[in-house]
Every structure is written in C-alpha cells, then in structure tokens.
Amino acid sequence: MMVTRALSALLACWFTSGVVAAGLEHYEIVAKHPLPAEIAEASGLACTSDGKYTINDSGNPAIIFQLGDQGQIVGRIHSALNNRDWEALSYADGQLYVADIGNNHGHHRAMKIHRVALASVNKGIAADASSFSFEFADYDQHPVTSVHHDLDAEAITIDQGQLIVFSKSWQSNVARVYRMIPRQQHQVIEPVATIAELPGMITGAHFDPVAKQYWLVGYNSKGLPKLKPFIAQLDDNFQLLATKSLTGLGQIEAVCMDQQRRLWLAQEQMLFKPALLIEMAAQP
C-alpha cells in the first residue's frame, strides 16, 4: 500500500535518536525581538552552540554580529573580507560561511563564499578567513533584466559537508537547487533539482540534519512594499512538505534552527516594518 507524502512526513517526525522533529504546522511565532539599528539590514542567520550570528547586506561594513536571544548584539567579528553583497550565512563544523552572492541586477557571473573559523576569533578579529568562488553552469540560459531574472541567490545551507545554494528566481518563480564542495577554490555548479510549488522567492535556508529536512523562508516575487512572506519545509530530496504564510511580517531574509529546535527568522527593516529577530517554537 502506498504511503501518502503527508503520512510520510508525520512518520519522519520520530527518530531513533529520541528527538521529536515537529512539522511546520506545529510551529508558531512566540516572540519578536527588535534588532539594533546597526543591523537593520540583517540578511543572513546562523545558529551555533554559542548563539546566533547575522550579517548586513550590501553597503554595510563586513562585520559578522553575534546575537543573544533577545536580539541584542553580544559580539562582533571583523576580518579583511569585503562585503560586496552579503546575502546569506550558514554554519557547520566550527566554520561560518558568508555568501557574497547578491545579484539583483544580474551583473555578476562569479559569486563568492567566505569561510570564517570561529576558533580563530580573538578579541573580535578572525585570523582564519578564506574565500572560494562559483558560477552557475546555466548562467547563459537565462535572460537578464534588472530585478527580473533567475540569476540571483540569497540562500545557502550545509548538508553533509556540501554547500547547498537556492536560486531566488525573480522571473520564473521556480527555484533551482545547486550543490558545491566548499574545499574547491572555484566551481561551475549545475542545478540538481527545481522547486516549483513555493509561494514566492527563497531568501533564506537551513538544513536540519536530525530530521533530514530543509527549512526555507522568502516572500512573493511581486516586489516591495507589498510582500507576502512565508516559511516552508522540504524533505531531503527537495520535495515540498508544507508551507505557512507569515502574516503581519515583511521582508524575511533568513532562518536557522537552534539546538532546542527553535526556529529563528531575521526580518530586514523596510517601510513600516522594523528589523526583527523572530522566534518560532513547536506548540503541543
């Protein structure tokens, strides 16, 4: 007898590790914490064992901020890196991965990922910071019109040592998924999957290794200021499990999950919407 996708998702909530992984339908917003003016354009978010880290996007200093649970800044990491257009942040094995991949106007073919070792940070300075680059193998297959093309990306995450990139896809609203190996200096990456069922563009991603699922956030592709943000849950084959509208919120840019399995979202400041660190928790 065939098991439906919904039932499969429910069964996937239980694991031999003893951790119960709740589905998206159980998650609700439990707090909205204002972010300081210094990080009004928060564009990435990474959860680690010692807290959360965020970044600002283009036009801001190349600083990684460590946050407390109330959205307060508890530390800053400086380096010699450049912030052309930082749009995403992820964490794995003691390394923060900063994605300088913003490409709203489609002018950039080569994208950069910066890697910062947290263990090398001393008095707010990262001694170990390096970079590698990539370009989309299908770059020439997509026409480029400013803020209306498929060659932009704002979401990365780490899955079993591979870096996953999700395209923003302003034009088609069909996200493409790419895999790359962080150890290689430069790569030309091919799409490995597409996601057509999302209600908008992907602006943030997190891979949950316990449940082997992806969490995505984003908003509709119709542009500012009438945004309709959402959060989505995918299985490890990039099949959509569930989506939920984030009513009352605005430009949601990032998501991560902490060790208590709380979801944290970053909202960038925009017209009539403040910069926020949003906390979601599974409800009974």
Which tens digits make up the pLDDT trace of 106-119?
667 789 999 999 99
70-86 pLDDT per residue, tens: 999 999 999 999 999 99
Q: Six-digit token pair at 264?
A: 């944290």
Q: What is the pLDDT of residues 3-47, one digit of tens each?
A: 344 444 444 444 434 456 889 999 999 999 999 999 999 999 999
pLDDT over 80 at 221, yes or no: no
41-70 per-position pLDDT tens digit: 999 999 999 999 999 998 899 999 999 999
Give residue 105's pLDDT.
61
Domain range list for the chain: 26-282
> In this predicted structure, what is the pLDDT of residue 52?
98
What are 196's two structure tokens?
Answer: 């057509």
pLDDT computed for residue 150 by the predictor: 77
Q: How does pLDDT run across 160-212, given as a tens digit for each residue? A: 999 999 999 888 889 999 999 988 899 999 999 999 999 999 999 999 999 99
Residue 17, SS3 per DSSP: coil
Q: Which residues contact 212 (CB under 8 A, 6 or more apart)?
A: 12, 235, 236
For domain 26-282, the CATH architecture is 6 Propeller (2.120)
CA–CA separation, 21 vs 10, rounded Å? 9
Alpha-helix residue ranges (DSSP H) falling in the chain: 5-11
Per-residue H/E/C for 75-108: EEEECCCCCCCEEEEEEECCEEEEEECCCCCCCC
Q: Distance between CA 252 and CA 24 in Å, rounded? A: 17
Whole-number Å distance between alpha carbons of 104 and 154 = 10
pTM given for the model: 0.90
pLDDT of residue 106: 61
Task: Please give the mean pLDDT across all residues of the chain.
Answer: 89
Residue-wise pLDDT for 233-248, tens only, equals 999 999 999 999 999 9
pLDDT given for residue 19 in this prediction: 56
* Range 135-148 average pLDDT: 78
Sheet (strand 251-257) strand order: 27-34, 276-282, 263-268, 251-257
| Res 139: pLDDT | 76
pLDDT of residue 20: 62
